[in-house]
Chains A and B, each alone.
Chain A
Amino acid sequence: MLDKLTLLGRWGINNLRQLGKAGILLYRALFYPPNFRKGFPLVMQQIYSEGVLSLVIIVVSSLFIGMVLALQGYHTLAKFGSAQQLGVLVALSVTRELGPVVTAILFAGRAGSAVTAEIGLMKATEQLSSMEMMAVDPIHRVISPRFWGGVISMPLLTLIFNATAIYGAYLVGVKWLGLDTGIFWSNMQASVSFQSDVLNGIIKSVVFGIAVVWIAVAQGFESVPTSAGISNATTRSVVYSSLAVLGLDFVLTAMMIGSW
């Protein structure tokens, strides 16, 4: 009994310590951004490897999600004779929920895991230590650019996700199922508000972006520098960030719908 209590205590302390370390890392990545002359190219590089290279998976999935949403929505809406509201249905569900959430989860799988594995490998092969011994702070040079690259990429990817998904719905709804183009777009325009729908979605995606990259860099930086340790860290990075995104989504939605 006492043993189990000790174990629980140790587990708790270890987790708190990890959280503390990750918090310090976040603080240092946030408040010591790389200096502009040296840091800008590094951040651009990371926007490329985290953002641009994630484009394929984001565009393809969003196109199909939009098309499926349109198909499903059309059949349900048609039962109530309101198929012309299809554009509204798709646009609202994508900009408010699906866009930020699915982008964040895909981003965690594509870019977050890559960041974790890369940082973990740099740690295991003593690249981070040797950088430190060359008087270059790995947090400035490695962590911070990856962090900012991810935070900047996420909302941009979300916008692209939104646009492609709506285009996919247009393809299915208008080109295939034969809805009227004018009605499709004008209903959408009339019912989607920029502030409470599109902007709130973007705010969500910024928060998710911070959460996903924070988890990714922290898991990489604190990983056990062995092959097993890195693979564990990569798995944890994806699992934790997906869970964090879903949890945060609930909190943010409650805040936005509740009293904003």
Chain B
Amino acid sequence: MSEPKIENLVEITKMSFQHENGKVVFQEVDIVIPKGKIVAIMGPSGTGKTTLLRLIGGQLTPTAGQVMVDGQNIHTLSRKALYQLRTRMGMLFQAGGLFTHLSVFENVAFPLREHTKLSESLIHTLVLMKLQMVGLRGASNLMPSELSGGMARRVALARAIALDPAFIMYDEPFTGQDPISMGVLVKLIRTLNDALGLTSVIVSHDVQEALSISDYVYVISNKKVIGQGTPDAIMQNKTSMELQQFIQGLPDGPVPFDYPANSLEQDFLEGTVNAR
């Protein structure tokens, strides 16, 4: 792969993934993430959105198909090349993933200390700049245990952008945020993306927020991509019932709300505990 210019930062082609316990998560999924855009990946919980991010980050290996990141097949890279590539990726975890034994300042400084040989005063300046971006410069001396869930997520965001990555993955950035920090966060993701020329992937099931900031949307359900397009096209799409049900949050439709079970007659009328 040596095109002079790579248009798409991530290209997933015919990828399937199956957990060790045999549960199939993806079946021949194709996803393309163009450079400089914000792409939202939506879907009901349990469809493997987080798994998808881990596949892109090279933490999991697909059972079939390939994942190209920045023109390189991420699962055939050597460990060294993979780590090299990861220094240009940021990932915001659902729970933040802050190091509990380090202060907020040290958490944000961690990637800088690991990967650069910057002087202490430069690190100090950089860390405070990143914390200022998320509005937590004043909290730099707190320990992660003293932060609320939303604040922890913002610190984790500051840490994820500490090395100025080219590509950021957000895992459910909007859950657990109050309306104010939600608004700030939505704006921040957009600003970061446009000002620093990043590429962002947002995994979320908050339909409104995700649609409002993304350039392109994929909806995953039941191991497959059930819809894709610009947010407007997704909203206007009348052809796919599955898509409509998810976007509008309807209880009835092709996507089942109930976990697969025996028929009602079998479970309630047969009267034995060990019916199955």
CA distance in complex: A121, B59 (Å): 19
CA distance in complex: A126, B97 (Å): 5
CA distance in complex: A137, B111 (Å): 12
Residue of B nearest to A141 (CB): B114
Interface stretch, picked from A50-58, A65-73, A127-135, is A127-135
- A:23-74 near B, CB below 8 Å: none
B111 and A134 within 8 A (CB):
yes
**Size class of the contact patch on chain A:** 10 to 19
B59 and A126 within 8 A (CB):
no
* In the complex, B76 has a CB within 8 A of chain A: no
B86 and A135 within 8 A (CB):
yes
Q: Least Cβ distance of B20 to chain A in Å? A: 9
Q: Mark A113-130, 1 if CB is under 8 A from B, else 0.
A: 000000001100111011
Question: Chain A's interface: helix, strand, loop or mixed, by majority?
Answer: helix
* In the complex, A256 has a CB within 8 A of chain B: no
Residues of chain A with a CB closer than 8 A to B93's CB: 126, 129-130
CA distance in complex: A83, B156 (Å): 67
Q: Least Cβ distance of A131 to chain B in Å? A: 8
* In the complex, A136 has a CB within 8 A of chain B: yes
CA distance in complex: A33, B84 (Å): 20
21 pairs, CB–CB < 8 Å, chain A vs chain B: A122-B100, A125-B97, A126-B94, A126-B96, A126-B97, A127-B98, A129-B54, A129-B59, A129-B97, A130-B91, A132-B86, A133-B57, A133-B89, A133-B91, A134-B111, A134-B159, A135-B86, A135-B111, A135-B115, A136-B111, A136-B114
Beyond known contacts A121-B100, A134-B114: 9 more, CB 8 A cutoff: A125-B97, A126-B96, A131-B99, A132-B59, A133-B59, A133-B89, A134-B87, A134-B110, A135-B86
The residues of B with any CB-CB pair to A shorter than 8 Å are: 54, 57, 59, 79, 83-84, 86-87, 89-91, 93-100, 110-111, 114-115, 156, 159, 163
The residues of A with any CB-CB pair to B shorter than 8 Å are: 121-122, 125-127, 129-137
